[in-house]
Chains A and B, each alone.
Chain A
Amino acid sequence: SQQGEEDPQALSIQEGENATMNCSYKTSINNLQWYRQNSGRGLVHLILIRSNEREKHSGRLRVTLDTSKKSSSLLITASRAADTASYFCATDALGYSTLTFGKGTMLLVSP
Chain B
Amino acid sequence: DTGVSQNPRHKITKRGQNVTFRCDPISEHNRLYWYRQTLGQGPEFLTYFQNEAQLEKSRLLSDRFSAERPKGSFSTLEIQRTEQGDSAMYLCASSLAGGTGANVLTFGAGSRLTVL
**Contact pick for A50, options B44, B93, B102, B109, CB 8 Å:** B102
Contact A103 B108 (CB under 8 A): no
Contacts A97-B56, A98-B33, A98-B48 given; indicate if A92 touches B109 (C-beta within 8 A).
Answer: no
Write out, one digit per residue, whether chain A residues 22-66 have a CB within 8 A of any chain B CB (1) or not (0): 000000001101010000111111001010000000000000000
Write out, one digit per residue, whether chain A residues 7-19 have a CB within 8 A of any chain B CB (1) or not (0): 0000000000000
**Chain A positions within 8 Å of B48 at CB level:** 97-98
**Chain B positions within 8 Å of A90 at CB level:** 105
**Contact pick for B106, options A45, A97, A98, A100, CB 8 Å:** A45
B62-116 contacts to A, CB under 8 A, are 89, 91, 93, 97, 102-110, 112
Contact A97 B44 (CB under 8 A): no
How many residues on B have C-beta within 8 angstroms of the other chain's C-beta atoms?
28
In the bound complex, how far is the Cα of B108 from the Cα of A97, in angstroms? 19
Contact A43 B41 (CB under 8 A): no
Contact B102 A42 (CB under 8 A): no
A72-111 contacts to B, CB under 8 A, are 88, 90, 92, 97-104
- For B43, give the chain A residue with the smallest CB separation: A101
**Chain A positions within 8 Å of B45 at CB level:** 98-100
| A positions within 8 Å CB-CB of B | 2, 4, 30-31, 33, 35, 40-45, 48, 50, 88, 90, 92, 97-104
